[in-house]
Amino acid sequence: MRLTRRSMLGATAMTVSMTALAACSKDPGNGGSGGSDGGGGEQIASDANDINAKERDELGEGGVLRLANNAFPANWNPNHTDGNEGNTTEMLEAIFPVLTLSDAAGVVGPNPSYTKRVELTSEDPQVMEIELNEGMTWSDGTPIDYKSIENVFKVMDGSQEEYGIA
């Protein structure tokens, strides 16, 4: 048998077609798990939370917090494109005040550690009212108040070039 360009193209087309058909075949019922366990693992509902939540009084004192970091970040601002890396964001979530939280179902609400209330009061223009908890301070004793939030927005919209100016 003589191999020609035409026969090679035909064989390639047939191989690609068969691969595509195999990829479109019906799931045999193992949940799409390509693994060897047959897909029999426990299913978690999409609105369920798999975090082992504990009350504060159930926790002990001390310990070590270890966070993975594969590279030193370009900057520590999670709102900037250079600082919005996965590992940087995970580290900052442990130390930055986060005003809102979302539950396992994706419902956003106030973070009780920092905010009493977060409410959308207007949609055009979009206006949010945020009621902060009283008595919060940064590590240097500076109050965490509306100025802290305002600074973030001013830096991000370009009207304030330097970080930390109140």
Structure confidence at residue 165 (pLDDT): 42
| Average pLDDT per 10 consecutive residues for the chain, totaling 166 residues | 61 61 54 50 70 83 80 79 78 82 86 91 91 91 88 81 52
Structure confidence at residue 90 (pLDDT): 79
Distance CA 97, CA 111 (A): 9
Structure confidence at residue 117 (pLDDT): 93
Structure confidence at residue 141 (pLDDT): 92
For 38-79, the three-class secondary structure string (H helix, E strand, C coil) is: CCCCCCCCCCCCCCCCCCHHHCCCCCCCCCCCCCCCCCCCCC
Structure confidence at residue 123 (pLDDT): 92
Where in the chain are the domains?
Answer: 68-97
Q: Are 50 and 44 in contact (CB under 8 A)?
A: yes
Structure confidence at residue 28 (pLDDT): 54
Structure confidence at residue 133 (pLDDT): 94
DSSP for 113-128 reads TTEEEEEEEEETTEEE
